[in-house]
Structure 1
């Protein structure tokens, strides 16, 4: 099992490039702006030490391959929704309202390539559930 431990130092690291990501739900299409974490250092830092996250913004972790993964909330003061996504953009699991600073592992529950972290309550507000589809340049076309 791969373990993504989101963090390094407060305010440390380079700003990540933003990418658009479209959630296709029963509520319609919503474009999210996501920072991409696609190397080990960026994935390790994640959203640790962040005290705010704008609405409809998040971080997309791209592992480059499909595997079971697990995250934790160590050094993360924000409550987040964690959305586990297959390489084709289909959501396999949503874990809402994570507990800030928790070291309890949050597993994907199935092999995934991506994990999207957004502000807690975003998944519910947008209607993102297992089976929701995301569109973006990183997802394989069905």
Structure 2
């Protein structure tokens, strides 16, 4: 992958291949791909992207919860601005918080019942066109609106 988030205007009807280290997004913009680390347990979710000094724009972190729930994040010990993409049990984006401020301890809640959160570099969600209604695709999203085959 290059230095920019990879986007495409086309995808097969089945969609791109699912991999544990990759999240795909689909929306009016086409598709976008991010290489991700997965935080799927309490310890990994608590650590998140704290103390990361830089991150290529084609990468991020996917937070996976066992079931949909109200969630909120903060930026304590997080050194780079982030966009937080909140999604429901089907991987449908419910809200996006843009450009979370590094080191800020203000709570950033997702809207509705959230099961997945994708963190990417601040400003990318708007640049790409990721917003409510966009859909995530990843093997952890077992009942997805854009399921892995």
TM superposition score normalised by structure 2: 0.81
2:30 aligned to which of 28, 31, 35? 28
Are 1:48 and 2:62 counterparts?
Answer: no
Distance 1:53 1:99 in 2: 15
Contact kept? 1:74, 1:102, Cα under 8 Å:
yes
Are 1:132 and 2:137 counterparts?
Answer: no
Contact kept? 2:23, 2:137, Cα under 8 Å:
yes
Q: Which residue of 2 aligns with 1:94?
A: 96
Where do residues 1-142 of structure 1 align in structure 2 (5 Å cutoff)? Answer: 19-139=21-141, 140-142=143-145
Gaps in structure 2 of 5+ consecutive residues: 1-19
Cα shift readout 1:22-76 (whole Å, capped 9, x = no counterpart):
1102121111111100011100000000011111210000011110001000011
4+ long deviations beyond 3 Å = none
Aligned CA RMSD, in angstroms, stands at 1.4
Shift of 1:141: 3.2
Gaps in structure 1 of 5+ consecutive residues: 1-17
Aligned pair count reads: 126
